[in-house]
Structure 1
Amino acid sequence: MNYGAIEAGGTKFVCAVSNEAFEIIERISIPTTTPEETLQQVFAFFDNYQLDAIGIGSFGPIDVNLKSSTYGYVTTTPKVAWTNYDFLGAVKERYQIPVGWTTDVNAAALGEIKKGAAIGTESCLYLTVGTGVGGGAVMNGKLLQGFGHPEMGHILVRLHPDETYKGTCPYHENCLEGLAAGPAIEARHGKKGHHLADEKHVWEMEAYYLAQALMNYTLILSPERIVLGGGVMKQEQLFPLVRQEFKKMLAGYVQVPPLDEYIVPPALGDNAGITGCLLLAADSL
């Protein structure tokens, strides 16, 4: 039995094929251009295999509502060529097999709870902090989605007392993504994050925003573990700062696990999403 996986990001698609033990047989990376160009390469890759199911974790927003006439579509994405595109339909038309469908961050959450940093729990929240900010969750063993899917990067946060920057988000002022994603760090400080590693005030401000978000997620969802991934979180000095700020903000109001076990990096690293997509493929059977 072979599973296919598509981790569809705004910059690149990662595709993989695994056996039923989720051991990857082959994987490729494809630049995200137009749907036609990108999927032509995706199909050329998968056509070499006899697949039993495919799992897709896609950039969004996407439609995950089974009752919707646009279920399976990429919807209001800023990537114009993909706006209102029937992504799931195109894959199903090519391959007459079960196809799992969710967001890229939900897929990463699934990967971490089944194979990574949240093994042994029933609930896990995964937040990626990179070019954008996105979050997904598995609650009571199921992916979190309802009428739509979570858009955790766009919750509103209070401005840091020293903040002078208005944020990058064209939709919302003072949202987490607009103030804490990689482009916001660069716009605020004039350099990319990896050139600011020794600037403690940069990461204290970043921690202030991330801790606010994690407090809100904790109070609403009460996950057993929070996994922080993405390019920005490769600045490992952020983790103790986030935990410290989180503890201060939560002020002991609710009980959480020990913070070095509660707020953690991904055990799967950059493979969380593709692993989750393979698991999604298996679940679709």
Structure 2
Amino acid sequence: MSGPLVAAVELGGTKIFVLRARGQEIFERVMIPTTTPQETLGMARELLARWQSQEPLSALGIASFGPLRLDRNAADFGIMLPTPKPGWTGADIFGVLAGALPCPAAIDTDVNAAALAEARWGAGAEGERLSDCLCYLTIGTGLGGGFALNGQPLHGAMHPELGHIHVRRAAGDAFPGACPFHGDCIEGLVSGPALARRFGLPGDRIAADDPRWDFVAHDIAQLVCTILLTTAARQVLIGGGVGMGRAGLLDRVREKVVVQLNGYLPFVRQDTIATIVRTPALGEQAGPLGAVALALDALKGENEG
């Protein structure tokens, strides 16, 4: 293994991974259940401090579920904004974790970080050159989306919140949606909890030939079309338990994207759609490697500054 020694944290709604890596190669990972901010972040901070005492860390990258304040000039930078996750609104994620180490640190959303890793080391790096615009979607407990644009994660006033976009519903679909904020936004239509409510069964027990999957494929295809039309993304990667757990669903989504666009985007065709709408090349490692990518960027920024 070669490269700088960095630490990375991937903070999810049910578990948190604390990682050590040399360059982009992860060699140690510790899982901590996500309970309260005090307990979860406290355990992660103690581990980071212990690693720092063993061998100094060069940088820290934090990839977290959101919504987050990512404007470094804001008073609440690195703090969790109002979230459905009980007890986590107002949690000072960056302050607690970065405060444990005397090294540069960066924070971003988990999906932005995953998009960054895929752009550099995964699907976006499989061709002749790195992808200049790549979208990473995760469909599971919720629906999140992030972008790597010209090698950097995308954020401005906030960060992308693709899960709460409203899409044009399929004819005959009367499901009211399950989002507590917006009802039938895309997260309220196709996330794991939404599917359980729509079908009356947990996702892993829903028959593959249930005709209601056609509504789900339609809705996801609508989101993908919106992304392609508004961002000119070269690829839309669909991960998460719903995204990666049903190959047949992804095939349906691809078919519907081509039909819904109706030839308007000349690069989206039957013979290209499988490379445009696909699963992440890094699989479940996109998230952890995204946190590592943030750490390496924080170190690069420190050195260049």
Q: State the TM-score bracket (shorter-chain normalisation).
A: over 0.9
Which of 120, 136, 149 lines up with 2:146 in the alignment?
136
Corresponding residue number in structure 1 for 2:9: 6
Letter aligned with residue 62 of structure 1: L
Corresponding residue number in structure 2 for 1:252: 263
SS at match of 2:198: helix
Which of 175, 185, 199 lines up with 2:209 in the alignment?
199
Corresponding residue number in structure 2 for 1:209: 219
How high is the sequence identity, in percent, across the aligned residues?
38
1: CA distance, partners of 2:102 / 2:253: 46
CA contact under 8 A between 1:158 and 1:174: conserved in structure 2?
Answer: no
The 5 A counterparts of 1:106-125 are 106-119=112-125, 120-125=130-135
The 5 A counterparts of 1:180-195 are 180-195=190-205
1: CA distance, partners of 2:212 / 2:284: 24
Please list every run of 5 or more consecutive structure 1 residues that lacks an aligned counterpart in the other structure. Answer: none
For the pair 1:268 / 2:270, whether they are aligned, the reply is no
1:151-187 deviation per Cα after TM superposition (whole angstroms, max 9, x unaligned): 0110001222232321111111320000010111111
Which of 231, 242, 259 lines up with 2:241 in the alignment?
231
2: CA distance, partners of 1:24 / 1:48: 17
1: CA distance, partners of 2:26 / 2:71: 30
SS at match of 2:285: helix
SS at match of 1:158: coil
CA contact under 8 A between 2:45 and 2:96: conserved in structure 1?
Answer: no
CA contact under 8 A between 2:17 and 2:32: conserved in structure 1?
Answer: yes
CA contact under 8 A between 1:2 and 1:51: conserved in structure 2?
Answer: yes
Letter aligned with residue 38 of structure 1: T
CA contact under 8 A between 2:140 and 2:191: conserved in structure 1?
Answer: yes
| Shift >4 Å, 4+ stretches | none
Letter aligned with residue 73 of structure 2: K
Which of 23, 26, 43 lines up with 2:45 in the alignment?
43
| 1:200 Cα deviation from its structure 2 partner | 4.2
Letter aligned with residue 279 of structure 1: A
2: CA distance, partners of 1:43 / 1:65: 23
CA contact under 8 A between 2:178 and 2:184: conserved in structure 1?
Answer: no
| 1:89 Cα deviation from its structure 2 partner | 1.0
User: Scaled by the length of structure 1, what TM-score is found?
Assistant: 0.96
Report the count of equivalent residues.
284
Corresponding residue number in structure 2 for 1:23: 25
The 5 A counterparts of 1:80-99 are 80-99=86-105
| 1:197 Cα deviation from its structure 2 partner | 4.1
CA contact under 8 A between 1:228 and 1:264: conserved in structure 2?
Answer: yes
SS at match of 1:248: helix
| 1:40 Cα deviation from its structure 2 partner | 2.2
2: CA distance, partners of 1:14 / 1:282: 17
SS at match of 2:147: strand
| 1:93 Cα deviation from its structure 2 partner | 1.9
2: CA distance, partners of 1:13 / 1:162: 40
Taking only aligned residues, the RMSD between alpha carbons, in angstroms, comes to 1.3
2: CA distance, partners of 1:35 / 1:117: 33
SS at match of 2:8: strand
User: Scaled by the length of structure 2, what TM-score is found?
Assistant: 0.90
2: CA distance, partners of 1:198 / 1:173: 25
CA contact under 8 A between 1:256 and 1:262: conserved in structure 2?
Answer: no
Corresponding residue number in structure 1 for 2:184: 174
CA contact under 8 A between 2:122 and 2:281: conserved in structure 1?
Answer: yes
2: CA distance, partners of 1:24 / 1:73: 26
Corresponding residue number in structure 1 for 2:295: 281
SS at match of 1:47: helix
1:20-59 deviation per Cα after TM superposition (whole angstroms, max 9, x unaligned): 2x21121021111111100222123223323111111111
Letter aligned with residue 79 of structure 1: K
Corresponding residue number in structure 1 for 2:166: 156
Please list every run of 5 or more consecutive structure 2 residues that lacks an aligned counterpart in the other structure. Answer: 300-305
1:207-238 deviation per Cα after TM superposition (whole angstroms, max 9, x unaligned): 10000001111111011111100000110111
Corresponding residue number in structure 1 for 2:303: none
Letter aligned with residue 21 of structure 2: S
